[in-house]
């Protein structure tokens, strides 16, 4: 993965495969603490304790259990490379929370990349899933909830050019 | 309770028509972009964005666009499947945004399969 926005897309695809109907993505940039964190919370089918333990290993991928594979291990590696860490909290039937923390100024910290394209892909590709996105940088904050776009999202089931245009306009307002 | 006007009813009718159309997959075309880890790492998101951009530019209606997981052919990613109503699906491999735009114009809009970018055509036989 070339940047963090691609990691986010990949991890959220896991959530959707796990049957999530509500996914929250939170990015926090704290320059004073020199940290950048990415949290992804879903209400999917979750994992049991023993699965959580091996979820970040690329070698435990079982083809029937799509919750694991290279996705999480790549994100864990990206976090480790930049003096950070990855934690997973999950319980069967209660969803999963993945949190990746990075040292903001670390030379190996991947750039955030194009979050707008990631959200566009997720929202258009999964009209039945509700996405909440929160991006905080210092005191500034950008929020987006796909529920607020619901009227337009109905258009997006069969993608309407107008619905697409307004979604793109909205996404452009994020700061990066 | 506010009165339901004729206009409201029309809106409801239009809405349910769209929903049924989608359920029955009766859109003119369906594009599936493979969005597994391998696909994403190979550039699947840019393929998605290129298709969406084409939909917007060409003002294409009734095109369903969705994502799926890994199809087991990771080395040929990014991949996309195009399905026109009543026709066999076509899998396209080794995509770039430019190829995606060509596929959109030729296959999705004009119904002409782009042979050069397709993986294989027709279905296998067992005898």
Answer whether residue B25 shows pLDDT above 80. no
Q: What is the CATH number of the domain that holds A141?
A: 3.30.565.10
Q: Which of A39-43, A152-156, B117-121 has the highest mean pLDDT?
A: A39-43
> What does the pLDDT read at residue A146?
83
Q: What is the ipTM of this complex?
A: 0.83
Whether A117 sits inside 8 A of B22 (CB atoms) is: no
The overall average pLDDT reported for chain B is 84
Q: How far is CA A130 from CA A22, A135, B7, B33, in A?
A: 5, 17, 29, 20
B1: in domain? no
Range(s) of the domain holding residue B57: 27-117
Residue of A nearest to B11 (CA): A151
Whether A170 and A149 have beta carbons less than 8 Å apart is answered as yes
Q: What is the pLDDT of residues A52-73, one digit of tens each?
A: 888 888 776 555 544 446 888 8
φ/ψ of residue A136, rounded to 5: -120, 130
Whether A124 sits inside 8 A of B65 (CB atoms) is: yes
B40: in domain? yes
**Residues 6 or more apart in contact with residue A123 via CB below 8 angstroms:** A131, A146, A149, A153, A156, A167
Query: How sure is the predictor about B49, in pLDDT bands with cuts at 50, 70 and 90?
Result: very high
Q: What is the pLDDT of residues B74-111, one digit of tens each?
A: 899 999 999 988 788 899 999 999 999 999 999 999 99
Q: Is B106 on the interface with A (CB under 8 A)?
A: no
Q: Is B116 on the interface with A (CB under 8 A)?
A: no
> What does the pLDDT read at residue B12?
77
What CA–CA distance (Å, rounded) separates A161 from B110? 18
Q: What is the CATH number of the domain that holds B109?
A: 3.40.30.10
Distance from CA of residue A140 to its chain's centroid? 20
Whether B22 sits inside 8 A of A71 (CB atoms) is: no
φ/ψ of residue A104, rounded to 5: -55, -45
Q: What is the per-residue DSSP string for A92-138?
A: TTS-EEEEEEEETT-TTPPP---HHHHHHHHHHH-TTSEEEEEEEET
Whether A120 sits inside 8 A of B49 (CB atoms) is: yes
Number of domains in chain A: 1
Tell me the chain A residues in contact with residue B29 when contact means C-beta distances shorter than 8 Å.
none
Residue A47, min C-alpha distance to chain B (Å): 19
Q: What is the pLDDT of residues A86-121, one digit of tens each?
A: 999 999 999 999 999 999 999 999 999 999 899 989
Range(s) of the domain holding residue A67: 4-172
Whether B62 sits inside 8 A of A158 (CB atoms) is: yes
Q: What is the pLDDT of residues A11-66, one digit of tens each?
A: 999 899 889 999 999 999 999 999 999 999 999 999 888 888 888 887 765 555 44
Answer whether residue B45 shows pLDDT above 60. yes
Q: How far is CA A112 from CA A1, A3, A30, B37, in A?
A: 11, 6, 14, 18
Number of domains in chain B: 1
* Least CB–CB distance from A66: residue in B22, B67, B69: B69
């Amino acid at each position: 993965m070339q940047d963090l926005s691609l990691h986010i897309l990949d991890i959220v695809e896991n959530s959707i495969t796990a049957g999530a109907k509500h996914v929250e993505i939170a990015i926090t940039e704290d320059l004073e603490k020199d940290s950048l964190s990415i949290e992804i919370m879903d209400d999917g089918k979750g994992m049991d304790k023993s699965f959580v333990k091996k979820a970040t290993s690329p070698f435990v991928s079982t083809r029937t259990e799509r919750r694991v594979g290279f996705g999480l291990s790549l994100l864990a590696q990206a976090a480790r490379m930049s003096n950070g860490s990855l934690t997973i909290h999950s319980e069967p039937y209660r969803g999963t929370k993945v949190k990746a923390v990075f040292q903001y100024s670390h030379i190996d910290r991947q750039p955030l990349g194009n979050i707008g394209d990631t959200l566009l892909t997720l929202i258009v590709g999964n009209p039945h899933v509700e996405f909440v996105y929160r991006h905080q940088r210092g005191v500034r904050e950008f929020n987006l909830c796909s529920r607020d776009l619901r009227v337009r999202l109905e258009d997006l089931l069969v993608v309407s050019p107008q619905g697409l245009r307004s979604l793109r306009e909205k996404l452009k307002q994020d700061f990066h | 309770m506010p009165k339901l006007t004729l206009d409201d009813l029309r809106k409801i009718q239009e809405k349910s028509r769209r929903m049924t159309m989608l359920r029955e997959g009766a859109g003119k075309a369906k594009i599936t972009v493979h969005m597994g880890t391998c696909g994403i790492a190979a550039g699947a998101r840019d393929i998605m964005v290129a298709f969406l951009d084409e939909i917007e530019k060409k003002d294409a209606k009734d095109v369903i666009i969705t994502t799926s997981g890994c199809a087991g052919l990771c080395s040929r990613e990014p991949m996309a499947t195009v399905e026109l109503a009543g026709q066999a699906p076509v899998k396209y491999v080794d995509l770039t945004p430019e190829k995606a735009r060509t596929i959109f114009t030729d296959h999705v809009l004009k119904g002409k399969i782009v042979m050069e970018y397709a993986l294989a055509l027709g279905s296998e036989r067992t005898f």
